[in-house]
Structure 1
Amino acid sequence: MAGALGLGLLLALLPVVSASMPGTVVRLNKAALSYVSEIGKGPLQRALQVTVPYFLDRSGEVLQPTRIQILNVHVPQFHLKFIADFGIRLSAAANFTFKIFRVPEPLELTLAVELLADARVAQSSIGTPVISTSYCFPLLGRSSDFDDSNSTSRALLVPVQEHIKAVLSNKLCLSVASLVQELNVHLGTLIGLNPVGPESQIRYTMISAPTITSDYISLDISAVLFLLGKPIVLPRDATRFVLPQHVRTEDTMATVGLSQHLFDSALLLLQKAGALNLDITGQLGSDDNLLNTSMLGLLIPEVARQFPEPMPVVLKVRLGATPVATLHPNNATLRLQPFVEVLAVASNSAFHSLFSLDVVVDLSLQLSVSRAKLQGTTSVLGDIRLKVASSNVGVIDTDQVHALTGSVFEEPLLKHLNALLGIGIALPSVVNLHYVTPEVSVYEGYVVISSGLFYLH
């Protein structure tokens, strides 16, 4: 698997699963190729360390087997570039050091090799990226020995060199092909589910063949969210998401575009899972939470009449309506419309409904990326708006209730919501791949993440 990591990072952000919306676009740019070229030298060197079979010396009356060992492979140059409408071209320079175990003394020689290979990038039948080697050619240079004092060894040198070159001509391309196959196995792991919550997951899939230019490779991705094993489907259709060309990508390794549809699906999942619901319970004698019947009784006489002794009050916050995310240039907002039932705890521990509220909360949404997850933080925009939906305690002055319930409602709601958004949602990635110094930009109807990459070995 180590050999796959070099080229593997080329497509490390390629996602996997179902062929519909919501839309995600991943672009890997020239800067990603430069990074892969640097960290890929080690895996390539190990892949090229092939086994050389014994050389059979036929110059005498008896065949003399001679063992040959590759002592070292050094790759000083490794370069990758995009081939438009095809895939990736690999070019590398490698220096081989061999040891020839010849009596009376072993002999060392070096051989310079230039390696050229073209790899096609396509879409597999299961929605994963697949790479295949279509062309490979090793150009073998002249060899040189380190010790020319032994005439017997020198007489053997020419046929040994030819033997080595014949072996390398055959085995080096097989090693590259094997490296690519390991890579395909590695990329196949992208089809696994990534947890979003205790009972929810997200899975990515390529929905079409990649678009490849001389500057980048771009992949259209479907992201499917699951709750209890069932896909989340929005009640409306969405057009296919296209990452606009004006989004600058030249100076970053990876560019990930996330559509409005993805945010809508994620919020629908949270709403269906009940993750946004919460109970806020008042405590008697608490300075931090004034939710009790005595405080409400000062504003609503009927509450004081029904509960002459102070009892705790509970706010049951339920989101029947799906939260709405709005994406405008440099501005992401979130609207929640919870239904809040105000309950008093009676002396027998039963709940007694006092009244209920329709609430509208507008929030500023700040997005960030940690490792390979998109996270969010919210803060309240303006005033929380309350409207009495029903009452078992007579007429209620909304303004007065707002002053009490609003203050004890806002902080727990934000704490709960930010804890959920802080868990994050997995972005397209592979195991051990992290986003480095990511920048999140909000546009009209979509979000763009521009980031470097780091593979943790």
Structure 2
Amino acid sequence: MAQVCRLALLLMLLLPVVGASVPGTVVRLNKAVLSYVSEVGKAPLQRALQVTVPHFLDRSGGGLQPTRVQILDVQVPRLHLNFIDGFGIRLLAAANFTVKVFRAPEPLELILPMVLLADARVAQGSIGTPVVSISSCFQLFSKAIVLDDSDSTPPALLVLVQQHIKAVLHNKLCLSISNLVQGLNVHLGTLIGLKPVGPESQIRYFMINAPNITKNYISLDINAVLFLLGKPVVLPVNATPFVLPEHVGTNGAMATVGLSQDLFDSTLLLLQKAGAFNLDITGQLKSDDNLLNTSVLGQLIPEVARQFPEHMPVVLKVRLGGTPVVTLRTNNATLQLQPSLEVLAAASNSAFHSLFSLNMTVNLSLQLSVSKAKLQGTTSVMGDVQLTVASSNVGSIETDKVQALIDTVFEKPLLDHLNALLGIGVALPNVVNLHYVTPEVFVHEGYVVISSRLFYQR
């Protein structure tokens, strides 16, 4: 409990720091998810209904005789969930209790059918997670079915036994349902857990207002806090909230997740601040086709040949000073990088000397996919890499002469680096052990939609 309180305090301190920014996400859980929850929820519900029944005081023998009563089994053949507009979820379950009464001379076994109806309110918790609470709970019992088909049990006794069991279940079942929901809330609390974005960066999601609940779905407005080296990153202010249009995604999807332009911009800013886009490109010195050396460069720039008459290795230092720009258009996502590239050559004393530097513009096609609970990306270069000379220690440089060489030695290492980085993936809003299954990704003007089934891994 103390740890939970400390976490809540920490979050309350952190959220106002980034509250002005809106890296918005909308998670819409549709009717199809209720059918799935109904199936996977039967087993936990059956366990929750397996309560302890105290001894029954049997008076049939002329005195009070404590008789042991045990619920042998609970089966839930039907569990149905519905959204309640503006409120939460309604649960309707049919359950059969197999009960054994250990009375002499023969034990009595019976099945007691029951219908359970409960309404659960879904609200926003104090630390930005969904919170479910039972607001009403009712039980309707049917007449018990005796299993041994014997007439040895007096009808009056059977009535008393049923009354005893029903009274106990009436007091305990709704409490068991509430306890089950409390366990669910603990699980929903993992929504706010830190999830990796890159080697030194993380993301944490949190709800920003009460959920919007209709008869067809429950929709959660979610923002993200981005962390670099454990510290929250203050993002540019954007006062425009993200609104997910009503009819997007695929019919029958359990979850429809909308990711705004702000989320992409903020995540790329975080990776840029972390230096994740930077890389050094070196050639394989023992390779016969290594082009990163002063001899090859000297054929294009005479001053390089004059300063380095011996064959020396060359290193390309790629640094990204500006924030990458992602553009989302219908069925098309692109990424633009504007890195600087410094070309350095090794001298005879093993020190590296700067030859020249280039400003570059690289346009990339961005393909998005989802694996488990992460959004991943792969890139490919679109058109030619644009070059301009930023500085030179080797005299005049004709960019058209070095263009082909730069394209050859630069593009593949860049793509390998970017695809490895974007392949790590950005965690989508989710709770522990919940995965996205057969997701489809749709790119729209200014936002991305993911339509998916869900799978809970026990």
TM-score range, shorter chain: over 0.9
Matched, 1:320 2:321: yes
> What per-residue deviation string (whole Å, max 9, x for no partner) do you get for residues 230-257 of structure 1?
2223334241000011314541000110
Q: In the alignment, what sits opposite 1:73? A: 74
> CA distance change for structure 1 residues 288 and 49 in 2, over 3 Å: closer, same or farther?
farther
Q: Distance in 1 between matches of 2:75 and 2:28?
A: 31
**Cross-structure match for 2:23:** 22
* Contact map agreement 2:187 2:432 (CA 8 A) in 1: no
CA contact (8 A) 2:22 2:237 kept: no
Identity of aligned residues (%): 76
Deviation at 1:100, TM superposition (A): 0.8
Q: In the TM superposition, what is the alpha-carbon distance from 1:178 to its structure 2 partner?
A: 0.9
CA 1:240–1:152 in structure 2 vs 1: closer, same or farther (change >3 Å)? Answer: closer
Counterpart mapping for 1:135-150 below 5 A: 135-150=136-151
The residue that corresponds to 2:233 in the other structure is: 232
Helix, strand or coil at the partner of 2:429: coil
Aligned partners of 1:22 and 1:238 also within 8 Å: no
Alignment partner, residue 352 of structure 1: 353
The residue type equivalent to 1:21 in the other structure is V
Partner Cα distance (1:345, 1:142) in 2: 91
Please give the alpha-carbon distance, in whole angstroms, between the structure 2 residues aligned to 1:62 and 1:428.
62
Match of residue 10 from structure 1: none
RMSD: 1.5
Task: Please tell me whether residue 271 in structure 1 is matched to residue 272 in structure 2.
Answer: yes
Q: 1:165 to 1:22 in 2, by over 3 A?
A: same
Distance in 2 of aligned mates of 1:283 and 1:61: 98
Contact 2:433 2:457 in 1 (8 A): yes
Q: Give me the TM-score of the superposition, normalised by structure 2.
A: 0.94
Cα-to-partner distance string for 1:308-363 (whole Å, 9 max, x where unaligned) = 00100111100011110000000000000000011110010111111110011000
Match of 2:134 in 1: 133
Unaligned runs of 5+ in 1: 1-15
* d(CA) in 1 for partners of 2:359, 2:150: 96
Q: For residue 3 of structure 2, what is the aligned residue in structure 1? A: none
Moved more, 240-249 or 158-167: 240-249
Is the Cα contact below 8 Å between 1:17 and 1:126 reproduced in 2? no
- The Cα offsets for residues 120-142 of structure 1, whole Å up to 9 and x where unpaired, read as 00001111111110110010111
Match of 2:55 in 1: 54
Q: Hey, what's the Cα distance between the residues in 1 that align with 2:76 and 2:288?
A: 69
Distance 1:88 1:152 in 2: 42
Secondary structure of the 2:142 match is strand
Other-structure match for 1:157: 158
- Equivalent residues in 2 for 1:91-102, closer than 5 Å: 91-102=92-103
Residues 152 and 110 of structure 1: CA distance in aligned 2, closer, same or farther (over 3 Å): closer
Whole-Å Cα distance in 2 between the matches of residues 378 and 334 of structure 1?
A: 8
Given that 1:313 and 1:342 are in contact with CA atoms closer than 8 Å, whether structure 2 keeps it comes out as: yes
Task: Tell me if structure 2 keeps the 8 A contact 1:284–1:310.
Answer: no
Give the Cα separation in 1 of the matches to 2:289 and 2:418.
Answer: 19
Q: What is residue 281 of structure 2 aligned with on the other side?
A: 280
Change (3 A) 1:287 1:366: farther
Give the aligned partner of residue 412 of structure 1. Answer: 413
What's the CA shift for 1:198? 2.4
State the shift of 1:216 in Å.
0.1
- Change over 3 Å in CA distance of 1:200–1:217 after alignment to 2: same
Match of 1:86 in 2: 87
Q: Relative to structure 1, is the Cα distance of residues 45 and 85 closer, same or farther in structure 2, using a 3 angstrom cutoff? A: same
Q: Please give the alpha-carbon distance, in whole angstroms, between the structure 1 residues aligned to 2:357 and 2:428.
A: 39
SS of equivalent residue, structure 2 residue 165: helix
- Render the CA deviation track for 1:337-395: whole Å, top value 9, x for unaligned: 00001111001011111111001100000000000000000000011111111111111
CA contact (8 A) 2:249 2:449 kept: no
> Is structure 2 residue 117 aligned with structure 1 residue 116?
yes
| 2:95 partner SS | strand
Letter in 1 for 2:380: S
- Would you identify which runs of 4 or more consecutive aligned residues in structure 1 move more than 6 Å? none
State the shift of 1:177 in Å: 0.9
Match of 1:7 in 2: none
- Look up the SS of the partner of 2:357 in the other structure: strand
* Structure-2 separation of matches of 1:429 and 1:290: 46
CA deviation profile, 1:149-180 (whole Å, cap 9, x unmatched): 35355552111111011111111111111111
Give 1:138's aligned amino acid. Answer: Q
Distance 2:396 2:153 in 1: 112
Which TM-score applies when normalising by structure 1?
0.94
Partner of 1:186: 187
CA distance in 2, matches of 1:192, 1:79: 30
The Cα shift of 1:60 comes to 4.2
Q: Structure 2 unaligned runs (5+)?
A: 1-13
* 1:415-454 paired onto structure 2 within 5 Å: 415-454=416-455
CA deviation vs aligned residue, 1:271-321 (integer Å, no higher than 9, x gap): 111111001113445344301100111111111110000100111100011
Amino acid at match of 1:24: T
Q: For residue 241 of structure 1, what is the aligned residue in structure 2?
A: 242
**Aligned in 2, Cα 1:138/1:454: closer, same or farther, shift over 3 Å?**
same
What residue is the counterpart of 1:375 in the other structure? Answer: 376
Kept after mapping to 2: 8 A contact 1:289/1:408: no
Secondary structure of the residue that 2:143 maps to in structure 1? Answer: strand
Query: Which residue of structure 2 aligns with residue 5 of structure 1?
Result: none
Distance 1:180 1:285 in 2: 64
The AA in structure 1 aligned to 2:301 is I
- 1:321-340 pair list within 5 angstroms: 321-340=322-341
Contact 1:326 1:333 in 2 (8 A): yes
- Deviations along 1:91-118, one digit per CA (max 9) or x if unpaired, are 0001111111011111111111000000
Q: What is the aligned partner in structure 1 of residue 310 from structure 2?
A: 309
